[in-house]
Amino acid sequence: MHVGDIMTRNVTAVPADTPALAVARLLADRGISAVPVTDNWSMLLGIVSEADLIHRLAVSDPPPPGLLHSLFYDRDRAASEYTRAHGATAADVMTPERDLVTADETMTVEHAAHLLEQHKVKRLPVLRDGVLVGIVSRADLLRALLVPAADATDAAITEEVKATMARLPWADAPYVFFDVKEGTVTLYGFCHSAAVRRGLPALVAQVAGVVAVEDRITVNAANQAL
C-alpha cells in the first residue's frame, strides 16, 4: 500500500500573508493540529502547527531570575525567537518547507510510518513536483491498518512472504521454509534463534492475504532462553 492510497487529499491550506491569529482560530475551529502554507500555484511554502503557535506563548514568559542564568542568557537568540514567534503572518511563524519531512504518492506506508517515528512528527505533506497534493498523518496510517486485506492468490502471498523476509536482515533464516495453501502459511524447518523463531510468524501474519500462520519451526534447545 502506498501513501497515495491513504492520504487526505482535500487539504485546507492558507496563503503566506494570512494573519497568525487567523491561523490559530482556523486550527481551533476546524479541530486540526496544523495547516500548510502554499503560494498561488499550491506550491508548499511551509506548515503552521499548534507547536509553532504555542511557542508564541512560551517565548513571552520572562527568564527566571538569578546570576547563573543571566551569565548564559543569549539575548540575541531570545530576541530572534520572540520576533519569529510573534510574527504577524503565517509566513512569519511557519516551519519552512526546507525544514519539513515530506513524502510523495508512491512512498510505501511502511516507509511513511518510519519517517514519522524517526523524525517524531505527526504528519507528512505529500508533494508532486513541489505541489501539495495531500497530507498523510498518523491517523491515516492507523486507518490503513484496519483496511481489510484484498484477496490474494497463494502464489502472490508466496512472493510477498519471500520479499518481506529478504528485506529484513534479522529474518534471514536459511533453514526455515514455508508453503502456502488457501491463504494459510505453514512455517517449518530449523532455526538457531528463539527470538527469530518468535518473530517469523508475526512477520508473515502481516502479509496481505494471509489468513492464518501455522508455526512448525523447531529451535535448538540450547537457544530456547534467547
- 122-140 mean pLDDT: 93
For residue 56, pLDDT beyond 90: no
Provide CATH 3.30.1340 ranges for the chain: 154-223
pLDDT > 90: what percent of the chain?
A: 42
88 — pLDDT class (breaks 50, 70, 90): confident
In terms of Cα–Cα distance, which of 161, 204, 152 is closest to 183?
152
For residue 226, pLDDT beyond 50: no
**pLDDT tens, residue by residue, 140-158:** 888 777 665 556 789 989 9
Provide CATH 3.10.580.10 ranges for the chain: 3-145
pLDDT given for residue 59 in this prediction: 47
Matching residue, cell 490559530: 24
Regarding the domain with residue range 3-145, which homologous superfamily does it belong to in the CATH classification?
A: CBS-domain (3.10.580.10)
pTM: predicted TM-score of the whole model, two decimal places: 0.60
Q: How far is CA 48 from CA 37, 57, 112, 164, 176, in A?
A: 7, 15, 20, 37, 50
What is the CATH topology of the domain spanning 154-223? Histidine-containing Protein; Chain: A; (3.30.1340)
For residue 179, pLDDT beyond 50: yes
